[in-house]
Structure 1
Amino acid sequence: MFNDKRFHHYSSSSLPKDLLAGVIVGVIAIPLGMAFAIASGVKPEYGIYTTIVAGILISLLGGSKYQIDGPTGAFIPILFGIVMTYGYENLLIAGFMAGTILLFMGIFKLGSLIKYIPRPVTIGFTTGIAVTIFSGQIASFLGLEGIKKHEEFSRNIQEIMFHLNTTSIFSVVTAAVCLGTVILTPKIAPKVPGPIIGLIASTLVATLFFPGHVATIGTAYGEIPSTLPHIHIPNLNVEIMMKLIKPAFIIAMLGGIESLLSAVVADGMTNSKHNSNKELVGQGIANMITPLFGGIPATGAIARTATNIKNGAVSPFSGIIHGVVVLLVLLFFAPYASYIPLASMAPILMVVAWNMSERKVFAHILKTKSTDSLVLVVTFLLTVFVNLTMAVEVGLIMSAILFAKRMSDVMVTEKVLPNPLTKHEKVETGMVTDTHDCPQISIFNVEGPLFFGAALTFEETIMKTINYRPKILLLRMGRVPFIDTTGEANLSRIVHHFSKNGIVLIAGLNPQPENVLKKTGLYEIIGKEHFYEHTGEAIQSALSQINKNKCLGCKHYAFRECKKLSAQEAVEGSRKKLTATF
């Protein structure tokens, strides 16, 4: 462990800092762990088990010095859906499978790929999750009775509306005390953990002033055991694994995104650098072992990681200490947690939902009124009204399609000629007219990625323009950074069609397109001698290969050589006539 770079330069003076940070984060993590577990549809102790096991393991094995791992709000909708559909036992299997996926993602160094998920998709589902979490706590905040929990957002809202008449003033007062304490504590004493103070204050109010009138963890879930459970290996079989592969993949992706995002936030706060692939390996192992102790899926918690840093953490020891603190509290104080009112847990999750809602970024993207705004809204609505799995799938597909559309719009194929008014007769667009165009040489600027979204437009533009069959087709491709097999196929059709009666020249080909053309054999078909680094060289070559007889009487003067060529042809024509006369 001490060969780990994250522990380099560790000294005796570092331990007190890690100890203080670990204790504070551990105290904060206890109510959050229970709240996230309850909101996910499982017993509160499972959230504590997750905090302990995953918290210690990721600190030992992860790729960030400051990461704090545990249950998070982002998982609530997907975990609740799995519990409702498949049951708690299968949730453990899905968590184990997600851990395996994360492990292999890290081993195959896929950590950097997660950053390519479009921001509108992540903001859309994060805000959607926040709405789902917030709305899911309204019933507990109001103390509603007879509520049935559903996976669908709309049905849960209907349940709340139908049971509003069962609102308990005692629950509202208890929740209000906790909410006020959670909001005011950071303003009065920034280093004091608001959630734990809120729980204590509201629990005392409910116990002293109206005992027995508010539902508690004990009355709803029974007493929390003061020990870790025995290791239990889930019953894995192919049928169950095939059924759970989709939710497991979503858990893995969501866990990977949030853990790496948390690590990036930590890097920004500390001027450090995390190892993304090692972080995924650590997250994978943690999520494979946590279910053996009954724990739910875990990931890097941004708020707890930030709190860890703000309280002076200098190494992963603070994360280990945080897990040990939670374990000690479980061993010695677990029975007291049974007295915590459910109404006290609701405001904590509501504040978490408010903080994770990304409302400012959401509004900022909406203001752009772009395709990103559309992706954002669709992902958000699907997260709230359908499910997170569908939201992520549709969001990613929409982003890919709209990206391809934007890239195809960027692709430009225009006919050009040298501008005689510029110093070096720079080749420009807008120079081609009915009276100023070479009948034998067509030059095109091709700009942008030549890929499946733009390749057909590229081909059609050139084929329509060269229907008069010039002898030379010169393609300036210096601004084509990328070409895929579809683009290569369209270029190949142009080459084969044009080569029957003319010659194709290419100027300024970049390395990636050149490599593709060589692999497909199109480079050899065009001919190595027909590729030029500079446009000027290609034009000179083209002028040397044209039919000079056709220059006779041409007044287009597309190139500076045209006047000379035209005059020479006229002189030669006169000589031939004189020779024929005599």
Structure 2
Amino acid sequence: MSITGDQAGRLHQLRRPTFTELYLPKLVTVWREGYGVADFRADVFAGLTVAIVALPLSMAIAIASGVTPDRGLYTAVVGGFIVSLLGGSRFQIGGPAGAFIVLVAVTAERHGVDGVILATMMAGAFLIAAGLLRVGTYIKFIPYPVTVGFTAGIAVIIFASQLRDLGGITLAGKEPSEFVPKLVALAGGLHTVNPSAVAVAIVSIAIIAALRVWRPSWPGILIAVAFAAVVCAVFSLPVETIGSRFGGIPRELPSPALPAFSLEKARAVLPDAIAFALLAAIESLLSAVVADGMTGRRHRSNCELVAQGAANIGSALFGGICVTGLIARTATNIRAGARGPLAGMLHSIFLLLFMLVAAPLASYIPLAALASVLVVVAWTMAEKHEFATLLRSSWGDAVVLLATFLLTIFRDLTEGILVGFALGAVLFIHRMAEMTGIEERSPLVAADRPDDGNGDRVPYDPALAVDRDVLVYRITGAFFFGAASAIGGVLDGIADKRKAFVVDFAAVPFLDSTAANVLGRVAAKAHRQGIRLFITGASPTVRRALLTHGVTPPRARYRTTLERAVADIKSRVADETAAG
């Protein structure tokens, strides 16, 4: 027997993948495919391009997260290098993400920077465990309204977190981390608005927006920040800078060191570590999916989770914060012509060189310019079109979207994701239950009438139902707990005068234990009343589930087709009539 190419492909998909196929880094794959000088030149250019974009972003995200700007650079250098070295995506760029600003800021406020570093390391361990347990296969099942909702919520929070630096507002005390108290405190400090800071922010946003339209290939963010720094230094504008608030950034990586650890501290930051791991997994795999869509490649999700875990541990060892895959920088990497993971590794090396050479210049960067960068990031990541589309699509999607969005803003990111996922699951169950149906068929129509040409039988005609002792039901769709109650009620209402009935499972692709248990009770009742039950068209998986839950002979008889079952019933009824 010969096997065609398509059959071989299907067999390859059905067999269980090996450990190497699951966790082999894409760097090795690219090297095996043949990596030449032209590929290296393309990756050098792409890595330099991404590094130019990542330099101001990494510092801005770190500052917004409540830590010093150097920690954002450590994260991009160490974490980004490990993500590309070990990752399962060919083009993924790792580093600090705007989505983590809220989580890191809250953790830093509660437990200090040491708590953030410890939570980052613990999150790395959780991500490695998730990858080895192959959890990455299931993260893709998070509903789309949930991802849009929490992304838009994070965008709103990022924007609110930058209002202080955008306006140069001076607050009497520490800026609250919660959304509403933050707005109240900022409103109370409006009288301290710095016009110079506002002007710097407006000009920076205008430069970024204009360059995106007229020169999209230019590094608009870096140009805007550099221009703002030069203007502020030349004209001695009274605005706060990295140097005035943080004293500049170091010119080298720190020595690796374990964070301060104690069981009490680990227990305290455990919820934050879980939130870090959850968001890192979602963001990184979402970024990998986007990269696949842009390039036609396929990433290894569980390998990517292991790499993200190792990157977070590495970042924490050097004093960095959370690492994840970055959609915007990954897309920039692809558009810059990257050929493989070496581009991401080179992006980290270039960032390190920038630190070594240009660290003193970072002191002149105005915080208002960095705040404007994050405002643009928040505007871009809000997914406004998708948000509006989901609001119009259906009431269920709108509820899931708004619940996730509002909980993310006013409560907590993790709570928003969990509640949104739960609502999405309930909505899915409701929709699946509506798709699952049961209809009564005439045995004559079921057995003797031809199909309509499309594989469906002709509509039921009561005039053709000559045998009133036989009842035929056909279940369509997934028979699971969401539909088990309704279908069980129909089957449970079998009239005592019936001598036999047939339940056709030919259109049931899936049956869970709840539905099998319901049919088991129906079979037991029919057997007690002397009614013969026939099961037809059940796949091996469905039949195995039914047998496990007591739908066994003599309570039920299995036939391959509906026609065969009806013929057997008619033959048995005829024999009984002759004997009577």
Residue among 90, 93, 117 paired with 1:92: 117
Q: Displacement, 1:3?
A: 7.7
Structure 1 distance, partners of 2:476, 2:459, is 12
- Aligned runs of 1:408-447 on 2, under 5 Å? 408-417=433-442, 418-419=444-445, 422-423=449-450, 430-432=460-462, 438-447=467-476
**For the Cα contact (< 8 Å) 2:445–2:465, is it kept in 1?**
no
Deviations 1:299-349 (A, max 9, x none): 111111111122222122211111111111112221221221111111100
Structure 2 distance, partners of 1:119, 1:416, is 39
2:6 equivalent in structure 1: none
Structure 2 distance, partners of 1:525, 1:123, is 53
The letter of the residue matching 2:332 is T
2:72 equivalent in structure 1: 47
**For the Cα contact (< 8 Å) 1:94–1:244, is it kept in 2?**
yes
Structure 2 distance, partners of 1:332, 1:173, is 29
1:562 equivalent in structure 2: none
Gap change, CA 1:205 and 1:525, over 3 Å in 2: farther
Structure 2 distance, partners of 1:516, 1:244, is 43
Secondary structure of 1:522 counterpart: coil
Deviations 1:134-186 (A, max 9, x none): 12112211111116322221111112222222111110111112111111223
Structure 2 distance, partners of 1:424, 1:397, is 41
1:557 equivalent in structure 2: none
Secondary structure of 1:515 counterpart: helix
Secondary structure of 1:476 counterpart: strand
The letter of the residue matching 1:157 is L
**For the Cα contact (< 8 Å) 2:128–2:310, is it kept in 1?**
yes
1:77 equivalent in structure 2: 102
2:46 equivalent in structure 1: 21
2:20 equivalent in structure 1: none
Secondary structure of 1:523 counterpart: coil
- Pairing 1:478–2:506 present: yes
The letter of the residue matching 1:6 is V
Deviations 1:404-426 (A, max 9, x none): 12212222122211439954698
Structure 1 distance, partners of 2:258, 2:401, is 40
Residue among 153, 159, 164 paired with 2:190: 164
**For the Cα contact (< 8 Å) 1:6–1:64, is it kept in 2?**
no
Deviations 1:450-473 (A, max 9, x none): 211111111111222x13341112
Gap change, CA 1:85 and 1:437, over 3 Å in 2: farther
- Pairing 1:186–2:212 present: yes
Report the TM-score, using the length of structure 1 for normalisation.
0.89
- Aligned runs of 1:145-294 on 2, under 5 Å? 145-146=170-171, 148-211=174-237, 213-294=238-319
1:403 equivalent in structure 2: 428
1:545 equivalent in structure 2: 572
Structure 2 distance, partners of 1:525, 1:68, is 62
Deviations 1:379-434 (A, max 9, x none): 0111111110110110111111121122122221222114399546986665459x
Gap change, CA 1:451 and 1:160, over 3 Å in 2: same
Structure 2 distance, partners of 1:484, 1:2, is 38
Structure 1 distance, partners of 2:195, 2:27, is 57
2:338 equivalent in structure 1: 313
Secondary structure of 1:499 counterpart: helix
2:92 equivalent in structure 1: 67
1:356 equivalent in structure 2: 381
Secondary structure of 2:91 counterpart: coil
Q: Displacement, 1:28?
A: 1.2
Gaps in structure 1 of 5+ consecutive residues: 551-568, 574-582
- Pairing 1:534–2:561 present: yes
Gap change, CA 1:106 and 1:423, over 3 Å in 2: closer
The letter of the residue matching 2:190 is L
**For the Cα contact (< 8 Å) 2:477–2:509, is it kept in 1?**
yes
Secondary structure of 1:449 counterpart: coil
1:506 equivalent in structure 2: 535
- For the pair shown, the structure with the greater C-alpha radius of gyration is 1
**For the Cα contact (< 8 Å) 2:449–2:458, is it kept in 1?**
no
Coordinate RMSD, CA, aligned = 2.3
Structure 1 distance, partners of 2:145, 2:469, is 49
The letter of the residue matching 1:468 is D
2:13 equivalent in structure 1: none
Bigger CA drift: 416-425 or 330-339?
416-425
Secondary structure of 1:405 counterpart: helix
1:448 equivalent in structure 2: 477
Structure 1 distance, partners of 2:428, 2:154, is 25
**For the Cα contact (< 8 Å) 1:49–1:228, is it kept in 2?**
yes
Gap change, CA 1:419 and 1:516, over 3 Å in 2: closer
Report the TM-score, using the length of structure 2 for normalisation.
0.90
The letter of the residue matching 2:90 is K
Structure 1 distance, partners of 2:457, 2:495, is 22
Structure 2 distance, partners of 1:71, 1:364, is 29
Gap change, CA 1:331 and 1:359, over 3 Å in 2: same
- Pairing 1:123–2:148 present: yes
- Aligned runs of 1:485-500 on 2, under 5 Å? 485-500=513-528
Structure 2 distance, partners of 1:366, 1:77, is 25
> How many pairs are equivalent?
548
2:15 equivalent in structure 1: none
Structure 1 distance, partners of 2:542, 2:216, is 57
Bigger CA drift: 384-393 or 106-115?
106-115
**For the Cα contact (< 8 Å) 1:177–1:201, is it kept in 2?**
no
Bigger CA drift: 62-71 or 236-245?
236-245
Gap change, CA 1:525 and 1:206, over 3 Å in 2: farther
Structure 1 distance, partners of 2:482, 2:272, is 31
**For the Cα contact (< 8 Å) 2:450–2:458, is it kept in 1?**
no
Secondary structure of 1:215 counterpart: coil
Secondary structure of 1:419 counterpart: helix
The letter of the residue matching 1:494 is V
**For the Cα contact (< 8 Å) 1:514–1:523, is it kept in 2?**
no
Q: Displacement, 1:490?
A: 0.6
**For the Cα contact (< 8 Å) 1:29–1:304, is it kept in 2?**
yes
Secondary structure of 1:233 counterpart: coil
Gap change, CA 1:437 and 1:44, over 3 Å in 2: farther
Bigger CA drift: 274-283 or 29-38?
274-283
**For the Cα contact (< 8 Å) 2:470–2:498, is it kept in 1?**
yes
